Amino acid sequence: MARKKVFSGIQPTGNIHIGNYLGALRNWVALQEEYDCIYCVVDLHAITVPQDPAAFPGERHDAAKVLLAMGVDPGRSLLYYQSRVPQHAELAWILSTIASTGQMNRMTQFKEKADKAGSNLGLYSYPVLMAADILLFRADAVPVGEDQKQHLELTRDLAERFNARFGEEFPLPEPIIPKTGARIMSLQDPTAKMSKSDPDPASRILILDDPATIRRRVKRAVTDSETEVRFDWEKKAGVSNLMEMYSLFTGASMEQIEAEFGTGGYGRFKEAVAEEIIAGLAPFRRAYEALDDAEVDRIMEAGAEAARRRAEVYQEAVRRRVGLSA
């Protein structure tokens, strides 16, 4: 039997941080063992907020290079830039004709982003393009962080509606959201998610940050006025956030962390958290430095070529269903 398919995407603007890694990219790498994986650097999504056309190609290239350094394996998985595969945009248009505006108005990320960057039609229909990404290859599963749950529900809804109107074409994709790490919080405000677009760089740790920066960021992470290391999101969000990171990098349970660091004060715990993050990210930094830029470009172009070929077969079936191809 054919292997099940996984699809996921990441935006290329802003540097990839440990929230992206612990919430989604760890799964991207792990799922390659079992699934037919398709991974996309979603540059068309990224331009829904203002971009600098001179800097954009470099940022996009860098995102691809970080993914390769983290272990996305072009020998096993498809990796490419979304804009190089025009079937994404074509399917998004077709799906937009069955998405209701009422449903689009309920998308919470649109409201947040529109408040910050101002709204435009592309930002509004962003979730439809995401649905098209996923449905284009008939993905069965989608590894993402918690914040993408609502977009996955919309994707399933559009798939069901398309199937009901035009005939069974799309499987309903399942989200793969980790139990721990699905929502890593900002180091400066543990009530807000760690984000690429946060103006304060002290709020996040990047995959390529050097050890001194990581130590500084963890040391300055906002906690609370107590001294006890205890897992309690309600009362101790800052500490709980650091505990999640420690747990994900070491495999230790919350009970084990409490037993080891509970009464030792935050200083000692933070030092341990920083050292584990540094050790966990070191292989990615080394792999990144070893990658050749021309080779990255070659991999991305070969990925797009293969993706276009695969996508065209699927997309022709959609055209036939809706009456665009005789």
Catalytic residue numbers? 113, 193, 196
Single residue of 133, 140, 147, 276 touching ligand ATP by CB under 6 A: 147
Which residue, 14 or 262, is less far from ligand ATP as judged by CB?
A: 14
The verdict on 9 binding ligand LTN (CB under 6 A) reads: yes
* 241/186 Cα distance (integer angstroms): 9
* 163/176 Cα distance (integer angstroms): 23
Total of chain residues touching ligand ATP, rule CB under 6 A: 19
Which residue, 51 or 250, is less far from ligand LTN as judged by CB?
A: 51
- Least Cβ distance, residue 244 to ligand ATP (angstroms): 10
The verdict on 69 binding ligand LTN (CB under 6 A) reads: no
Total of chain residues touching ligand LTN, rule CB under 6 A: 13
Q: Are 195 and 203 in contact (CB under 8 A)?
A: yes
User: What does 30-84 look like in DSSP terms, one character per residue?
Assistant: HHTTTSEEEEEE-HHHHTTS---TTTHHHHHHHHHHHHHHHT--TTTSEEEEGGG
Binding partner of 142, given ligand LTN, ligand ATP, none, CB within 5-8 angstroms per partner class: ligand LTN
DSSP letter (8 states) at residue 193: B
Single residue of 5, 6, 8, 27 touching ligand LTN by CB under 6 A: 8
> Residue 37 CB: number of other CB atoms within 10 A?
25
Binding partner of 183, given ligand ATP, ligand LTN, none, CB within 5-8 angstroms per partner class: ligand ATP
Which residue, 178 or 262, is less far from ligand ATP as judged by CB?
A: 178
Residue 206 β-bridge partners: 17
**In what order do the strands lie in the sheet containing 36-41?**
78-81, 36-41, 5-10, 141-143, 174-176
Stretch that binds ligand ATP, among 91-99, 154-162, 192-200, 266-274 (CB under 6 A): 192-200
What b/e readout covers 196-216, taking b as 16+ CB neighbours within 10 angstroms?
bebeeeebbbbbbbeeebbbe
DSSP letter (8 states) at residue 258: H
CA–chain centroid gap for 100, Å, is: 26
The verdict on 61 binding ligand ATP (CB under 6 A) reads: no
CA nearest neighbour of 214 among 308, 277, 172, 131: 277
Of 136-155, binders to ligand LTN (CB under 6 A) are: 142, 144, 148, 151
Single residue of 66, 69, 128, 134 touching ligand LTN by CB under 6 A: 134
Of 33-52, binders to ligand LTN (CB under 6 A) are: 42, 45
- Least Cβ distance, residue 46 to ligand LTN (angstroms): 9
Stretch that binds ligand LTN, among 8-16, 27-35, 56-64, 238-246 (CB under 6 A): 8-16
Between the CA of residue 86 and those of 6, 36, 39, 42, 81, what are the distances in Å? 20, 21, 15, 12, 10
* 105/111 Cα distance (integer angstroms): 8
The verdict on 26 binding ligand ATP (CB under 6 A) reads: no
Stretch that binds ligand ATP, among 117-125, 132-140, 194-202, 266-274 (CB under 6 A): 194-202
User: By the criterion CB under 6 A, which residues form the site for ligand ATP?
Assistant: 10-11, 14, 19-20, 23-24, 144-145, 147-148, 182-184, 193-197
User: By the criterion CB under 6 A, which residues form the site for ligand LTN?
Assistant: 7-9, 11, 42, 45, 130, 133-134, 142, 144, 148, 151
